[in-house]
Amino acid sequence: MLFRIAADSLVLFHLSFILFVLFGGLFALRWRPVIWLHLPAAAWGVAVEFFHLPCPLTRWENLLRHLAGQEGYDAGFIEHYVLALIYPAGLTPQIQLGLGTLVLLINLAVYGWIIWRRNRRV
């Protein structure tokens, strides 16, 4: 039972991390120190999508599910949980590039805004 709870908690953490990668720059508009947490997280998120890197959180979740006597899944977190809702056909390399580009564009816009505001004050 504990392994299942741990796996489910990891899913929630994973989703939170993905949302932070996408929108964490918006927190940096209000709380500047968040930049030091968000920039590496966003870089990791872009790298995972562009270079099709395996996410260690997915591997850990599958391990915990196995230890709980449940079946894991072969696809990544996004394919298994998120894309099943949005893209029923599954994840393709083009979709991954699109997701990576979306992360990059959102964060470039937010950080461009931060830099523009900072330069405007000076």
At residue 86, the pLDDT reads: 46
CA-to-CA dists, residue 15 to 10, 30, 69, angstroms: 9, 22, 23
Residue 99, token pair as written in the block:
């997701």
pTM: 0.68
CA-to-CA dists, residue 40 to 37, 68, 111, angstroms: 6, 32, 13
* Annotated domain spans of the chain: 2-121
Instruction: Write the pLDDT tens digit of every residue in 9-58.
Output: 888 888 889 889 988 988 888 888 999 999 999 999 889 888 988 888 88
DSSP state of 74: S
In whole angstroms, give the CA distance from residue 43 to residue 39. Answer: 6
CA 54 vs. chain centroid, Å, equals 12
